[in-house]
Amino acid sequence: MNVPVLVINCGSSSIKYALIDTDPEAPRLAGIAERLGSPDACLKGKSSAGDKFEQALPNADHTQALSAILERLEGRTPGAIGHRIVHGGEKFTQAALIDASVVSAIQATAALAPLHNPANLAGIAATQKVFPQLPQVAVFDTAFHQSLSPTAYRYALPESLYAEHGIRRYGFHGTSHAFVSQRAATLSARGAGGWLTAHLGNGCSTCAVWNNQSQDTSMGLTPLEGLVMGTRSGDVDPGLHAHLHRQLGWSLDKIDDVLNKQSGLLGLSGLTNDMREVEEAAEQGHEGAMLALDVFCYRIAKSLAALSCALPSLDGVIFTGGIGENSPIVRRRVVGLLPHFGFALNEIRNDAMIRGQEGKLDSDQHTGPEVWVIPTDEEGRIAMETCHCLEVQA
């Protein structure tokens, strides 16, 4: 079934939306309602003519924001709603048509994503009010990684923590890793084989994909595990929490806040969580920024090397996300840290990559593993999975 899909990504005080038409060439209507529930709530977006708009929505809640979004769809009617849901636990291995049982299953998983799943559910409730006639589909960030084997997803912890409390690695950014690896399988002569994907944005994760299936990934129980991110630390010694508590008297809430919001590029550089600013400051010799860039790239390379153990053979690496798509510096550094993989990055192609472009960055006549940039399209993938789910149900 191919229908226009309104993709909704609902946070506790924001709603991102995109209307994905059945015609891939049709301009996308997209935007974000922010600071919901506060006096300075507003809706920002782009019309199909490409004009930007900003509309004040003082004290608007999710339902009011969705009504304002509906007004911005320029009379185009969606045939379905696709919701990005952060955590599907072990229950959801693919997208699901939303009914009461799916809502309760998402509720039951809220303990694993206390910040995200309740907000996603608020989005579903508001959307059902504003678009009561439309089918709604839940597309999970975790679902793509449900193909991981216990070897990859189990922590070396007592069995009961897994069996009774669901403590295991789940992985996130599934729609992005799925999209770019399947795109590479289509674009590359090597097809669907062994691909390492690096989604590098404000949140960052890597994934090993074999034959279009996730084998392992860097994020775990929560999206804090793994790489250095904008404000998230990524991997630290699990003993750190006890150490900070005992030595500095920090509460768990404070430690959680520091690791999630004050670490990563921001913590290391002491300046910013924005990679463009980190690169500029590093260029000017700022020591914190140079260290942040070094650690960021080293940890990506280390993660890719580790994940290569999950693949029988390697066909290439794919960079995506705001940093992966737009930073030749990060791509060059990461590939440079993996000399034994046999990549051959063409510096001119790497530097010439234009925002939004996809392509292979290899030197001519190179026959080893490839290096690709593929812009991610999480909204497009959610729309595709929404249509597929409706088709299966029909």
Task: Give the residue numbers of the binding site.
Answer: 9, 16, 84, 199-203, 274-276, 322-326, 378
Helix (H, G, I), strand (E, B) or coil at 85: strand
Nearest distance in Å: CB 40, ligand AMP: 22
Residue placing its CB nearer to ligand AMP in the complex, 91 or 261: 261
311 binds ligand AMP (CB under 6 A): no
Q: Which among 235, 216, 239 is positioned nearest to 227, based on CA atoms?
A: 235
Q: What are the helix (H) ranges across 31-153?
A: 62-71, 100-108, 117-130, 150-153
Q: Give the interface size with ligand AMP as a residue count (CB under 6 A).
A: 12
264 binds ligand AMP (CB under 6 A): no
Tell me the per-residue interface mask from 212 to 251 with ligand AMP, x by CB under 6 A, - otherwise. Answer: ------------------x---------------------
Residue placing its CB nearer to ligand AMP in the complex, 40 or 351: 351
Return the residues of window 43-102 that contact ligand AMP according to CB under 6 A: none
State which of residues 202, 212, 213, 262 lies at the interface with ligand AMP (CB under 6 A): 202
Q: Per CB under 6 A, which region of 89-97, 160-168, 235-243, 322-330 contacts ligand AMP?
A: 322-330
The single residue of 21, 141, 216, 315 carrying the catalytic annotation is: 141
Return the residues of window 115-154 that contact ligand AMP according to CB under 6 A: none
Return the residues of window 347-376 that contact ligand AMP according to CB under 6 A: none
Rounded CA-CA distance 283/305 in Å is 27
Q: E strands within 130-217?
A: 136-140, 194-200, 204-210, 213-217
Rounded CA-CA distance 192/155 in Å is 29
Q: How many CA atoms lie within 13 A of 21 on its CB side?
A: 13
316 binds ligand AMP (CB under 6 A): no
322 binds ligand AMP (CB under 6 A): yes
Paired tokens of 322: 């705001």
Q: Please, which residues have CB within 8 angstroms of residue 326's CB and are 6 or more apart in sequence?
A: 355
Q: At what angle do helices 100-108 and 117-130 cross, to 10 degrees?
A: 160
- Catalytic residue flag (residue 141): yes
Sheet holding 29-34, edge to edge: 52-56, 42-46, 29-34, 15-20, 5-10, 80-85, 136-140, 96-97
Return the residues of window 269-308 that contact ligand AMP according to CB under 6 A: 274-276, 279
Nearest distance in Å: CB 275, ligand AMP: 4
State which of residues 89, 123, 201, 267 lies at the interface with ligand AMP (CB under 6 A): 201
Nearest distance in Å: CB 295, ligand AMP: 15
Residue placing its CB nearer to ligand AMP in the complex, 230 or 234: 230
Q: Per CB under 6 A, which region of 85-93, 323-331, 360-368, 380-388 contacts ligand AMP?
A: 323-331
Nearest distance in Å: CB 78, ligand AMP: 24
Q: What is the DSSP string of 266-325?
A: HHHHSS-S-HHHHHHHHHTT-HHHHHHHHHHHHHHHHHHHHHGGG-SS--EEEEEHHHHH
260 binds ligand AMP (CB under 6 A): no
Residue placing its CB nearer to ligand AMP in the complex, 20 or 323: 323
Paired tokens of 242: 């006890």
Residue placing its CB nearer to ligand AMP in the complex, 98 or 353: 353
Please, are residues 362 and 370 in contact by the beta-carbon 8 Å criterion? yes
State which of residues 127, 142, 206, 326 lies at the interface with ligand AMP (CB under 6 A): 326
Question: How many other C-beta atoms are found inside a 10 Å radius of the C-beta of residue 285?
Answer: 8
Q: Per CB under 6 A, which region of 14-22, 95-103, 107-115, 319-327 contacts ligand AMP?
A: 319-327
Question: What is the phi/psi pair of residue 322, to 5°?
Answer: -50, -40
Rounded CA-CA distance 266/353 in Å is 26
Which residues are part of the catalytic machinery? 141
The site for ligand AMP (CB under 6 A) is made up of: 201-202, 230, 274-276, 279, 321-323, 326-327
